[in-house]
Amino acid sequence: MQMTSQKIQDLIGIVLIVGVYISTALVLCGGLLFLIRHGNESIATLLIPLTQNPAHFWSTLSFSFSMTEMITIGLLGLVFTQVLRVALLGWCYFREHDYKFAAISLFILLVLLYSLFFRT
């Protein structure tokens, strides 16, 4: 199957729309729930300077689906949409037999994955 550049554009557009809407929905739900429960509390707790030790990327998640967890997962979803669009673009170029650009996409994808999972 030959893919025109118009088709590739449409495909990337769809990936972005789905990724953005899912993560926005998660962030919106988490945020509204938080505001309903804690909306009238002072933000003083936010003003404490940062003292956290670096943790590994994945150990910051517990998947307990609390309000803040929901927001974090939504934000992560937004980040992974970027990974997905690079991967998809590379795949499209590969199918198009455009190996130069497939290699370029693969390189960017590898750097992205490395920096997300292995860099501390």
Partner 1 sequence: MSILLHNRLIAWQSHRATWNFIYLADKLLKHLIFILKKFLLKKERILTFLTFAILLFFISYLAGLMGALTGLGGGIIVIPALVLLFKIDIHYAMGAALISVIATSSGATIAYLRKGYTNLRIGMFLETAAVLGALIGALLITIISPTFLATTFSLILFFSAYLTLQRREEQEHYTRSHPWATRLNLNGTYPVKDQLETYQVQHVPIAFFAMGIAGIFSGLLGIGSGALKVLAMDHALRLPYKVATATSNFMIGITAAVSAGVYFSYGYIHPIITFPVMLGVILGAFSGTKLLAHLHNRILRFIFSAVMCVIGFEMLYKASTGAI
The contact set with partner 1 (CB under 8 A) reads: 5, 8-10, 12-13, 16-17, 19-20, 24, 27-28, 30-32, 34-36, 38-43, 46-50, 52, 54-57, 60, 68-69, 71-72, 74-76, 78-79, 81-83, 85-86, 89, 100-101, 104-105, 107-108, 111-112, 115-117, 119-120
**CB 49 to partner 1: min, Å:** 5
Cβ neighbours for 2, distance < 8 A, ≥ 6 positions apart: 96
Tell me how crowded residue 83 is: count the other CB atoms within 10 A of its CB. 15
| Nearer to partner 1 (CB atom), residue 1 or residue 100 | 100
Nearest Cα to Cα of residue 20 among 87, 79, 89: 79
CA–CA separation, 36 and 38 (whole Å): 6
